[in-house]
């Protein structure tokens, strides 16, 4: 009987290819089903009211932040312009102080020379 069983097994068709095809088909089907479910969930989330509300809220928050950035940029520009003007004024005052010190030194030198 062992000989007959071995002979039957040797002459029978090898079904590994059939199983491989079935597995590949099952995997492809599973991937397609998962993609369809993910697409359905994404579409449902996208078109739901929760998404629209959060989208509107984020747009409003974004507009507020842009407004704040514009205001702060304008303030920074004003600060820079004020700083530059003050730096120029300090330089002019330092030059004026230097000129006055020279004049004072000249007057003192003239006063000292006249007393002798």
Whether residue 73 sits in one domain with residue 113: yes
Q: Is residue 111 part of a domain?
A: yes
How many domains, in total, are found in the chain?
2
Predicted local distance difference test score (pLDDT) of residue 105: 95
63 within some domain: no
Range of the domain at 36: 1-47
Same domain for 43 and 72, yes or no, is no
Q: Are residues 115 and 72 in the same domain?
A: yes
For tokens 């303030």, the residue is 75
Residue 75 structure tokens = 């303030």
Question: Do the domain assignments include residue 53?
Answer: no
Interval 15-72: pLDDT, tens: 555 677 788 889 999 999 999 999 998 888 777 777 778 888 999 999 999 999 999 9
- pTM of this prediction exceeds 0.75: no
Residue 113 inside a domain? The answer is yes
Q: Judge whether 45 and 51 are in contact, CB under 8 Å.
A: yes
In tens, the pLDDT along 2-15 reads 666 777 767 766 65
Instruction: Classify residue 83: in a domain, yes or no.
Output: yes
pLDDT tens-digit readout, 62-99: 999 999 999 999 999 999 999 999 999 999 999 999 99
């Amino acid at each position: 009987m062992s000989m007959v069983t071995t002979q039957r097994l040797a002459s029978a068709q090898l079904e590994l290819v059939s199983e491989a095809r079935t597995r590949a088909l099952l995997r492809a089907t599973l991937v397609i089903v998962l993609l369809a479910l993910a697409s359905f969930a994404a579409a449902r989330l996208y078109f739901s009211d929760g998404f629209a509300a959060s989208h509107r809220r984020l747009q409003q928050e974004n507009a507020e932040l842009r407004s704040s950035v514009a205001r702060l940029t304008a303030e920074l520009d004003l600060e820079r312009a004020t700083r530059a003007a003050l730096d120029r004024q300090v330089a002019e005052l330092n030059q004026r102080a230097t000129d006055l010190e020279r004049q004072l030194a000249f007057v003192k030198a003239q006063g000292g020379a006249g007393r002798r």
